[in-house]
Structure 1
């Protein structure tokens, strides 16, 4: 099966919320807003285009790291699998775009960040298993401080 991988640059539009599924797998969800900007030669400046919103879902270890690392309004780069959902509510049809995150990071064109190795232990339950019952891969450990 072919999957559509996308990279989206935008701002965190909702505070990240973490839930644990019935099978004990953590998932963090937030909304990402991205606005196209174009140079307007007539006005001699940049103008904003329309804003698109994506629901981003991060699973397992990434879920904990996202919850501990990002906040409302922060600039991000998100890469993941794009899913378009077609839903009907109260007789009206809605389309929504979701990204199942593979990687999430701060957009360093708009600021600086410091990296700390490891997984946020507060939201990753013990015994978290990988897909199809396989043990989750161990997180890398760091024996020396990162400069």
Structure 2
């Protein structure tokens, strides 16, 4: 899973949560339906049946919102990764002129290595020894 795309992982987790929500809603619906069967008066039966219908309807709406949010997040992540990958691609080099541009003072030309200068302290020490 280390090299799995995060957008696929987001969608997979949303599907798992969706199944969990719907399973819990079915349990609650069955509970309310059982209470409706056991109810003694007509109003209580009708109320429990209505609660069972509402539970299913609300759970379906929540599950749908969850999937839509997960899809939006996954799409956004995938789009961001595509844009980041496109930004990191090397750009094509521009055509160079026949003559190389002159180097700025202090920098060697492009083809030649820079010459090393001896450190100033070493030069000062040599002059003091020769003078003494």
Q: TM-score, normalised by structure 1?
A: 0.19
Q: TM-score, normalised by structure 2?
A: 0.20
Relative to its length, the structure with more strand (as a share) is 1
Relative to its length, the structure with more helix (as a share) is 2
Q: Which has the larger radius of gyration?
A: 2
